Copies of this chain bind each other. A is one copy, B any other.
Amino acid sequence: MASLARNLRAEAAGMRGGERLSSSRMLVERYRVSPVTVSRALALLAAEGVVVTRPGSGTFVAERRSGSGPVDFGWQSVPLGHRALDVDGLSQLLAPAPAGAIALIGGYLPDEAQPLRALAAASARAARRPNAWGVPPLSGIPELRAWFGSLVGADPGDVLIADGGQAALWTILRSVLQPGAPLLMESPTYHGAISAARAAGLSPVPVPMDGDGVRPGLLAEAFAMTGARAFYTQPTFQNPTGVVLSPERRREVVEVARAAGAFVIEDDYARHLAITSPPPPLVTGDRDGTVIHIASLTKATAPSLRIAGVVARGPVAERLRATQLVESFFPARPLQETALELVTSPAWPRHLRAVSADLRRRRDVLAAALAEHLPEAHLTRLPQGGLHLWVRLPDGRDDLLVRDAARANGVLVGPGRPYFPAEPPAPHLRLSYSTATDEALSEGVRRLAAALRD
């Protein structure tokens, strides 16, 4: 009966209001059901208001309701089903700070450190290049691929230009792993990567780190235990900890993955945000196409220069190209041309030197303010690059409550919890030194200290 009712409901939906349904006798024949079943199904549809029965003349499609009254979107819950998306952290990170609040959050260079004049000039030059709004080569414009390749000694043919680091990571996760697969990740790690992994239907598996980065023995154990085929890592100025994977471990990590028949996804997001020069990226020591390397330009420039270069070798490179094509075609050519004009301009090396000096000063100001005003919080290390300090709170403090209290006191801080793929072992805060002025960095820490003591 339910099946007949469903068919009749669909049939009625395809007819106009007032139109006559087939007779009961015809329905009995057509659907090979009993007359009782037909009359029950019609009664159900009449009760639902889908049809109207007029004794003696038959059953008619009900006139549709008019457009008045509040709309009920409840029906969408059924097709939408379960939600695997967790984007609160990303939304908060990208939201503008409320007026008067000091932001110790944020993942981009401060406005005054962005190369806005050089970007404007690069953009104007890009607009004058031939075919500026046309279809670019599908893997990216050749000169930009060559530039990204030159950073890590890779062949230009092994580079794919993508719509920024997050899109690159998404393309990689979708390409190399099937829904349900495990993904090894450092713990803690960038929460946008955890969100992307969950959205792709993957199971994040945390692997512990120490001050030299991920621990190769435990990484090997995690591969053996889970059968994982990929490890996501930020070996350089890791987000949020600032840890740099030591040179010896770089070799070991690649060997461990190679032995497990797995990919290493190297998110080299902060190479251009170095205060002290870091070791070469993992991909430079890779021979077998084990490492898939992401280099983004966004972090070192401005949030809307959404251009990244992905280095990959072997069949996986073709898989990545196909995935990007079907998911979004190609990154807009004017952005690619602008990026190329920028990084090949004389302003570029000057900009990188200025960024390095600026970050060093800001980092030191924030670290000094912490030492002075918040000695009970433990700065896990003084990072040699990147945009953040990773601060351990006294045991027993709840990072989310601290975040709320700080906000009420006029300073925005990032709770540590979202950076852990599983339960956090201790409460932490991530404090960005990239957004506020020097004075605001100090004042922000004073406000945070006051909130913590309340």
Contact = CB atoms under 8 A, between A and B. Distances in A.
Interface of A: 6-7, 9-16, 50, 64, 67, 71-73, 75-81, 83, 85, 87, 90-91, 94-96, 108, 111, 114, 116, 119-120, 123-124, 127, 132-136, 138, 163-164, 166-167, 170, 175-179, 192, 195-196, 199, 201, 216-217, 219-221, 223-224, 229-230, 248, 252, 255-256, 258-263, 287-289, 301-306, 313-316, 319, 322-323, 325-335
A424 to B, nearest CB: 21
B306 A80 contact: no
Copies per assembly: 2
Given A6-B224, A85-B326, A163-B332, 16 more contacts: A10-B259, A11-B220, A14-B219, A14-B220, A64-B255, A75-B288, A76-B316, A78-B229, A80-B316, A90-B325, A96-B135, A119-B133, A167-B328, A179-B179, A199-B323, A334-B334
Nearest to A61: B255
A151 to B, nearest CB: 20
A80 to B, nearest CB: 6
A221 B16 CA distance: 17
B75 A261 contact: yes
Closest 3 CB pairs of A and B: A73-B314, A13-B259, A10-B220
Given A133-B304, A322-B85, A328-B170, A14 B230 contact: no
Given A80-B315, A80-B316, A259-B13, A179 B201 contact: yes
A179 to B, nearest CB: 6
Q: Which of A77, A305, A322, A323 has the most CB of B within 10 A?
A: A322
B216 A304 contact: no
B326 A328 contact: no
Nearest to A94: B135
Contact of A13 (B87, B220, B330, B332): B220
Contact of A134 (B14, B78, B302, B332): B302
B13 A138 contact: no
Nearest to A262: B79
Contact of A138 (B67, B94, B166, B323): B94
Contacts of A326: 85, 87, 90, 166, 170, 192, 195-196, 199
Contacts of A230: 79
Contacts of A166: 326-329
A111 B6 CA distance: 51
A221 B134 contact: no
A21 B44 CA distance: 74
27 contacts: A6-B224, A7-B224, A10-B220, A10-B223, A13-B256, A14-B220, A14-B255, A16-B248, A50-B259, A64-B255, A71-B289, A73-B315, A75-B258, A76-B263, A77-B315, A79-B261, A83-B319, A85-B322, A87-B326, A94-B138, A111-B134, A119-B133, A123-B123, A166-B328, A167-B327, A167-B329, A196-B327
